[in-house]
A and B are shown apart, each in its own frame.
Chain A
Amino acid sequence: MQVPAQVEYEKAASVQHALALLARYAPGARILAGGHSLIPMMKLRLAQPEVLIDINGIGSLRYIERVGGELRIGALARHADLLAAPMAGDHFTILHDAEAVIADPVVRNWGTIGGSLCQADPSEDLSAAFAALKGSMIVQGPDGSREVSARAFHTGPYETVVGPAEMLTEIRLPIRRDSGSAYLKVCRRAGDWAIGAAGAAVWLSGGLIADVGIGLTAVGAAHFVAAEAEEFLLGRPADEESFARAGEMAAEHCNPPSDQRGPADYKRHLVCELTTRVLRASVRRARGLEPAGGRAP
């Protein structure tokens, strides 16, 4: 039988209230959102907070909306919310690709976007997706809020820039024209963590790649990003030769562990193939060659 260790519990009524509670109890406090990462960690004593600050009652943190040229996602939005939001799929197909393969429908009902990002599991899918989209995170603390690039948000496995008295409140994604995105994941069985996964976002100008983001999951890529492959693609034609070479570069520069999910060379093979495929799918989507809502091939 797995039960968490003894813990105190506080219910936050607002972001300000949550921050006040964090200030009072930090560093022994943890924000409790969906709890679908934190509670299993507490059962295993991998996390043993003294105080849980439950933010599920802060309805104002659960939203997905367009503000100007950005899509904004409240930290308390559930995975199921993002998967069901047409606005997210219309602009960022990668988000629907990724959400459809995160855990399972029942877990997605309660697990939150912000919780997944703050858990910062190296095998978590959204970190790579948001890195590919070049989004940013809003972190609030006692001295106000700051905006952090998605690519600077993670400082290592299970570690982020969010301080002990701070909380993630929002994710922002710039909406840009002539773009397409996709995410592909290989796992051992339905609902499992990735053996490896890749996400891409491509912005086209004529037939050339004007900007590109490539995110990699579970394969030891620094900040979940294939930076060398991105750099290579800038200004190149959006064709098969470019995609294939970018795949090879992504595989070469990541650092996957050999573990129960497979040997490192197999994971590198996956990175190469998945990167090539998501780039191809992203470009097809940017050119309107794939119907909205379709899964990446």
Chain B
Amino acid sequence: MKITVTVNGADYARDVEPRLLLIHFLRDELGLTGSHWGCDTSNCGACVVWLDETPVKSCTVLAVMADGRRVTTVEALAIGTALDPVQEAFAVCHGLQCGFCTPGMMMTARWLLDHNPDPTPEEVREAISGQVCRCTGYENIVRSVLWAAKHDGPAEDEVAADEASGGHQ
């Protein structure tokens, strides 16, 4: 079946089998291997991408269901070499060890902060509760998302002043 999917702003037309899963379409057809293929049962969340504006588990969505829709993957977070604050946060706060869950965690985190710029630790935990990390015990991931919330958006000098006052963990 012929489909056209807008992935990270670019249109891709492909002829795919209806049974092809979105995660395999992204990785195998388009070469976008940032999204990870994990448990295959919509439990682990390594494959989270945005379908239109919504985070979904792409192992449980067919590629044909994305026909005519927009998909956003972890590859779209950085602009050139400028990291998204969420990416920077995971580096600064050691929000990953092996990195397998990280693309999905970051896509959910970015969506959370876009809709709730100042979440509580409990809200962060709830947001990532459908995603599994076997390295960090989640503590550093929560810390990363809160760091990103603090460093999202404000001008450089505000961040500098904040850091000088020891305002973040």
Whether B65 contacts A106 by the Cβ 8 Å rule is: no
Q: Given A54-B65, A107-B60, 14 more contacts at CB 8 Å? A: A3-B20, A4-B19, A6-B19, A9-B62, A35-B65, A36-B57, A39-B62, A42-B19, A105-B126, A105-B130, A107-B42, A107-B57, A109-B56, A110-B51
Whether B42 contacts A36 by the Cβ 8 Å rule is: yes
Residue A7 lies at the interface, judged by CB distance under 8 Å to chain B: yes
Residue B40 lies at the interface, judged by CB distance under 8 Å to chain A: yes
Q: How far is the CA of A56 from the CA of B45 in the complex (A)?
A: 22
Q: How far is the CA of A39 from the CA of B54 in the complex (A)?
A: 19
Whether B55 contacts A1 by the Cβ 8 Å rule is: no
B-side residues, CB < 8 A to A, are 1, 17-21, 24, 40-43, 45, 48, 51, 54-57, 60-62, 64-65, 67, 108, 126-127, 129-131
Whether B42 contacts A40 by the Cβ 8 Å rule is: yes
A-side residues, CB < 8 A to B, are 1-9, 11, 32, 35-36, 39-40, 42-43, 52, 54, 56, 80, 103-107, 109-110, 190-191
Q: How far is the CA of A243 from the CA of B46 in the complex (A)?
A: 44
Q: Which of A3, A54, A104, A190: most chain B CB closer than 10 A?
A: A104
A8 and B42 contact, Cβ closer than 8 Å, known pairs A103-B130, A110-B54 = no
Q: How far is the CA of A35 from the CA of B62 in the complex (A)?
A: 9
A106 and B56 contact, Cβ closer than 8 Å, known pairs A6-B17, A43-B40 = yes
Q: How far is the CA of A226 from the CA of B166 in the complex (A)?
A: 57
Whether A7 contacts B130 by the Cβ 8 Å rule is: no
The 8 Å CB contact of A35, one of B24, B60, B126, is: B60
Q: Which residues of A contact B48 (CB under 8 A)?
A: 106
A1 and B40 contact, Cβ closer than 8 Å, known pairs A104-B130, A105-B127, A110-B51 = yes
Whether A106 contacts B40 by the Cβ 8 Å rule is: no
| Cβ of A102 to closest chain B Cβ, rounded Å | 11
Q: How far is the CA of A6 from the CA of B1 in the complex (A)?
A: 12
Whether B130 contacts A191 by the Cβ 8 Å rule is: yes
Q: Which residues of B contact A4 (CB under 8 A)?
A: 19
Q: Which 7 A-B pairs have the closest CB atoms?
A: A104-B130, A9-B18, A4-B19, A2-B40, A110-B56, A106-B130, A190-B129
Whether A2 contacts B45 by the Cβ 8 Å rule is: no
Q: Which residues of A contact B55 (CB under 8 A)?
A: 105-106, 109
Q: Which residues of B contact A56 (CB under 8 A)?
A: 65
Task: Look across to chain A and name the residue whose beta carbon is closest to the beta carbon of B50.
Answer: A109
Q: Which residues of A contact B67 (CB under 8 A)?
A: 11
| Cβ of A110 to closest chain B Cβ, rounded Å | 5
